[in-house]
Chain A
Amino acid sequence: MADERHAAAADAGTPEGPPLDRRQFVQFALAACGTASPVLVALTRLPAAAAQEAAADSTAESYDPTGHLYGMGIDISRCIGCGRCVAACKAENDVPMDAHHFNTWVERYTITADGEVTVESPNGGMDGFPEPEHNSELRRTFFVPKLCNHCANPPCVQVCPVGATFTTRDGVVLVDEKYCIGCRYCIQACPYGVRWFHPTKRVAAKCTLCYHRLVKGKVPACVEVCPTGARIFGEVEARATPLARFMRFNDVQVLKPHLNTRPKVYYASLDGEVR
């Protein structure tokens, strides 16, 4: 983060860039001191400070993380499995286009009359789903979008040996890719399989709730493109927001509640077969 800020400040100081304002100057001076003194570097990299730094993104300076607590609602009955959210996420967040790296994906559950359950997610559901293959009568099928649950009690943050993954003040779990050592303990610790290892950056990667968009007042890319409104983004604690309304008027559940991770992604119409 210190490096990133340094780079941002340095960019701002180039002749092509806009002139330095006072805040940028202070940031630049701090970063310069930090480079000169290893002690200062260590201090500025402390995990607690990282959350503040994430919020102090120069592109959204007016953003105040203390006034928010983000979560997402997912209305399973509305998801049609088109996979546009998956494609949008990959494009927005520079996720490798192969079939094994996803911040979000969609699963299809097919339950036959005799109770047999089949779960599929071909290419993460990005290209939609083929007709289900089944020999007996179908009882029901449904789609379940999955993403990082941005747990209030995140096991991934607990296990990170260097504090490179952290929870922001507004409740988003992020990875500092300039700090992650690539041990992959967080990937093991996540019960939901939402973390992955970036093949070229060689660090842990995951859904950021499009944090770069949030600080500009926009919603995550997956929410924006969903044609049926199956993803509801917003404040968990505020009263008059779409997410708060969704949670009031639906019986919502979270995934794997017995693990006490306290997810902030809430599902309506969640079937017991979903894990």
Chain B
Amino acid sequence: MEPKLRVENLSVWYQRQPALKHVTLSVEEGEVLALIGPSGCGKSTFLRTLNRLSEEQVGVRVTGSILLGDLDIHQPQVDVTQIRRRIGMVFQAPNPFPFSIFDNVAYGPRLQGAADPAALRKIVEQSLRQAALWDEVRGKLRRPALALSGGQQQRLCIARALAVNPEVLLMDEPTASLDPLSTAKIEELVGALRGQYTIVMVTHNLRQAARVSDRTAFFLDGTLVEVGPTRQIFTAPQDSRTEQYLTGRFES
């Protein structure tokens, strides 16, 4: 089968500093791919290049290609907003807008011109159900999003991303700021979304990667060291550096 995302020879520089060097990697449709590696290894940079969020920063230069289907998303004539609708993102710390729960989820559809209240209500409900938040916020959709707990806020952000019907979901350490219980709920949710969405997830938590992902990619110093089925990476890594990292012999 054609991969969902095909990254070829991708390099990224901040000013003159290389952050990512010649990465080639494919993401299969419907899988959960975990990106692991020590801090500063380039995994977050890689993630932010996939929806071109990296270019919001000044002085960033990208070479190589990223194919979504057969569209090279880094071509300058490609509309970046279209790409971002097809590739959603969840951030490290929950970042709901300081609006109501409803307005948060409806934000994306409204950007595309959705205004019909009934249709919006349907999208909001469906997205909240998918994000396993509906039962907790039903009837409280007008409450401010910031009144929710951290874990609920993160699931709200997932619902917000799902509301525009993306094909790919990027998650940048989505449980980094959450307590164990909320983390478990998010992991459960990722499991439920598998198959329906293609998910690329950066995580610092190795056990989380082992629990939720189908395949794992290990980054070090801006290069992709190896990528493979999660079970194999964790039990029989082919590169000695992967093994060293997994057994805790790197500062992370």
Question: Do A and B interact?
Answer: no
Measured CB to CB, the residues of B under 8 A from A are none
